[in-house]
Amino acid sequence: MRCEVVAVGTELLLGQIVDTNSSWIGEKLALIGVDCLFQVKVGDNFGRMEFTIRQALERSDAVICCGGLGPTQDDITRDVIAKIMGVEMKRDDAIAQHIRDIFEKRGRPMPENNLRQADVPEGATTIAQMPGTAPGLVCPVLVDGVEKVVYAVPGVPHEMREMMEGTVLDDLRRRSGETSVIHSRVIRTWGYGESALAETLADHVDALDESGHATIAFQASGIEGIKVRVTAKAESHDAAEKIIAAEEALIREKLGDHIFGVDAQTMESVVLDMLRERDLTFAAAENLTGGILSTRITALDPAMEVFKGATIGPHGTAPDDSAMTGEDRAVAAAMHAREAIGTDIGVAVLAPPADEEHPPGTVFAAVVLPDRAEARTVALPGVLSRMRSYAVITVLDLLRKRLSEG
C-alpha cells in the first residue's frame, strides 16, 4: 500500500516552521510496512491544495493531510477535502460541544470562529482522539471507481501523533492487509568521503540490489559524518532486524573504526559513554573552538561528571615557543588543560599562529591520555564556523579511537 503525506501551511514554504511532522509520519508508516513514496508541502491556497491532494490520490492509495484544521480563515483543509469528495460540510454538534467544553475548562470565552472546526465533510468520520480543538478526519474518496482515503490531522505535533498512533496507523494497516514491516538502521561514519565510502561498498550494494534482501543508501551529513542507511522489509520486526544485523556486520568488516555509532548516537554521546565505562574524566583546550566542544558535551553531561571544563583563549594554554611544531603545541595545550582542571585526559585543537604559513584549514588536534599522547595535523573545509565544528568532531574521534584501543 502506498501512502502520501501532504503538509499544509504557507509557513512551511517560507521556512518559518520546520516540517518535522512528515519525517515522523514517514518513519511510522515504514514500521507498519506502508510505502511512503512522496511527501509534499503546499501553502494555504484552495486551488493549489486541491491540485496537490488530487495528484497525491492519483498515485497513492491513501493521503495524510497534516495541518490546516485550525479556526482561522486560512485553515481550509476541511473545505478542500469536501470539494474533492464532492460533498457539503455539516456541523457536528458533538464536536461543537466538545470544543465549548475545552474553553470552559480553561476558563476562557470561546470565539465563534472555533465552531468552524466542528464542520465535517458529509461521509467523513471524526478521529476519536482529540487532544485539542481540532478534530481529525477519516475521509473516503472514490478515484476512478477505486476507494481511497484521505486522513486529516492537525499540524500541532503532539495532537498529530496522538491521532496517528490512536487511529490512523491502525486503520492504514487494516486497509492494506500488510503484515510486513520496514526497518532501518543508520550506521554513522567519520573520516570517509561519500564517494570513497560508496566505492568501498560498491560490490556489496550491487549484490544487495540483485538479491532484494535489503537496500543501502548514503547520506552526507556535514559535521555528523557520512550516514549509511540499511533498510530491510520482512514479515516481522525480528526478521528484519536479523537481515540488518547481518548487513551491519559486513559493513563493519569493510569500514572498521571509521564507524563510530548507529542511529541516534553522536560522536559526543559515544565518547561520553566510553569514558563513563572506564571511569575517566577529561578537559579541553579550546583555543580554536571557543567553547563549541564544551557546549556539545555539556548538553549530554549537564552535571559535568565526565567533562570537567575547558581552557579558552591563547594565553596560558599553548606555549609561545617558535621551536615547537603545531602538533607539539597541541599536546602541550591538552596537557595544560588536563593538569589545570585536574582530569585523567586532556584534548586540544589549535590553529597555526598567524605568522606561520600553512595550507588553508590546517588544524592541530591532540589527545593526552594517562599513559601517552598523540597529535594529528588535519586540513578542514569551510569557513571558520564550520571549521571549528569539524575540529570538535575530529578531536573527539581521535579520543574515541584511542579509548577503543584500551
> Secondary structure of the chain in the HEC alphabet?
CEEEEEEECHHHHCCCCCCHHHHHHHHHHHHCCCECCCEEEECCCHHHHHHHHHHHHHHCCEEEEECCCCCCCCCCHHHHHHHHHCCCEEECHHHHHHHHHHHHHCCCCCCHHHHHHHEEECCCEECCCCCCCCCCEEEEEEECCEEEEEEEECCCHHHHHHHHHHHHHHHHHHHHCCCCEEEEEEEEECCCCHHHHHHHCHHHHHHHHHHCCEEEEEEECHHHCEEEEEEEEECCHHHHHHHHHHHHHHHHHHHHHHEEEECCCCHHHHHHHHHHHHCCCEEEECCCCCCHHHHHHHHHCCCCCCEEEEECCCCCCCCCCCCCCHHHHHHHHHHHHHHHHCCCEEEEEECCCCCCCCCCCEEEEEEECCCCEEEEEEECCCCHHHHHHHHHHHHHHHHHHHHHCC
Nearest C-alpha neighbor of 190 from the set 383, 394, 382, 391: 394
pLDDT at residue 232, rounded to an integer: 86
- Does one domain contain both 300 and 211? no
Higher pLDDT, 198 or 60: 60
Same domain, 237 and 94: no
Q: Are residues 205 and 258 in the same domain?
A: yes
Which grid coordinates are listed for 400? 574515541
Q: Would you state the pLDDT for residue 107?
A: 87
Q: Helix 169-176 and helix 20-31: axis angle, to 10°? A: 40
- What pLDDT is stored for residue 319 in this prediction? 55
Q: What is the mean pLDDT of residues 213-239?
A: 84
Pair (355, 211) in one structural domain: no
d(CA 356, CA 363): 12
Q: Is the pLDDT of residue 27 over 70?
A: yes
Closest listed residue to residue 352, CA positions, set 373, 378, 371, 370: 378
Instruction: Look at 4-8, 258-262, 345-349, 402-406 and tell me which has the smallest mean pLDDT.
Output: 402-406
Are 345 and 274 a contacting pair, CB within 8 Å?
no
90-142 pLDDT, tens digit each: 999 999 998 999 888 888 888 888 899 999 999 999 999 999 999 999 999 99
Q: Are residues 191 and 303 in the same domain?
A: no
Question: Quick one: 187 and 119 in the same domain?
Answer: no
Q: For residues 45 and 156, state if they share a domain.
A: yes
Phi and psi at 125, nearest 5°, equal -115, 150
pLDDT confidence of residue 393: 93
Position 406 pLDDT exceeds 80? no
Q: What pLDDT is attached to residue 117? A: 92
What strands, in cross-sheet order, belong to the sheet with 259-262?
Answer: 214-220, 226-234, 181-189, 259-262
pLDDT of residue 314: 63
pLDDT, tens only, 30-82: 888 888 999 999 999 999 999 999 999 999 999 999 999 989 888 999 999 99
Give me the half-sphere count of Cα atoms (radius 13 Å) on the Cβ side of residue 89: 16
Residue 322 pLDDT > 80: no
Read off the pLDDT of residues 367-382 as tens digits, 9 standing for 90 and up: 999 989 999 998 888 7
pLDDT of 215 reads 83
User: Is the pLDDT at 180 greater than 80, yes or no?
Assistant: no
Q: Determine the average pLDDT of the residues in 295-304.
A: 95
From 65-79, 232-246, 262-276, the region with the lowest mean pLDDT: 232-246
The pLDDT of residue 316 is above 60? no
Q: Count how many Cα atoms sit within 13 Å of the Cα of residue 365 in the half-sphere of its side chain.
A: 22
CATH classification at residue 152: 3.40.980.10
Residues 257 and 276 in one domain: no
Residue 203 has pLDDT above 90, yes or no: no
Residue 262: per-residue pLDDT? 94
Rounded to an integer, the average pLDDT of 11-29 is: 93
- Same-domain status, 396 and 357: yes
pLDDT at 315: 47
For residue 59, the enclosing domain spans 3-176
Q: Which of 45-54, 123-132, 254-263, 346-355 has the lowest mean pLDDT?
A: 346-355
Q: Please give the residue that has the higher pLDDT: either 154 or 406.
A: 154
Q: Is the pLDDT of residue 231 over 50?
A: yes
CB 167 within 8 A of CB 127: yes
Cα(first)–Cα(last) distance of the chain, in Å? Answer: 49
C-alpha cell at 389: 565544528
100-109, 178-187, 240-249, 290-299, range with the lowest pLDDT: 178-187
Domain boundary among 220, 235, 262: 262
Q: Does 210 have pLDDT greater than 70? A: no
User: How high is the pLDDT of residue 209?
Assistant: 66
Residues 132 and 192 in one domain: no
* Average pLDDT of the chain to the nearest whole number: 90
Average pLDDT estimate for 236-254:
89
Could you tell me the CATH number of the domain that includes residue 190? 3.30.70.2860
Check whether residue 149 and residue 192 sit in a common domain.
no
pLDDT for the residue 219: 81
**Is the four-CA dihedral 72, 134, 13, 85 of positive or negative sign?**
negative
- Which residue, of 238, 262, 286, is where some domain finishes? 262
Instruction: Please give the tally of structural domains in the chain.
Output: 3
Residue 304 above 80 pLDDT? yes
The CATH number for 315's domain is 3.90.950.20
Q: Which of 18-32, 48-62, 233-247, 301-315 has the highest mean pLDDT?
A: 48-62
pTM of the model: 0.69
Considering only the C-alpha atoms of the chain, give the largest distance between any 2 of them, rounded to a whole number of Å.
84
How far apart, in whole angstroms, are the C-alpha atoms of residue 315 and residue 349? 14
Q: Are residues 21 and 138 in the same domain?
A: yes
Check whether 268 has a pLDDT greater than 50: yes
Cα separation, 192 vs 227, whole angstroms: 10
Domain edge (last residue) among 224, 243, 262: 262
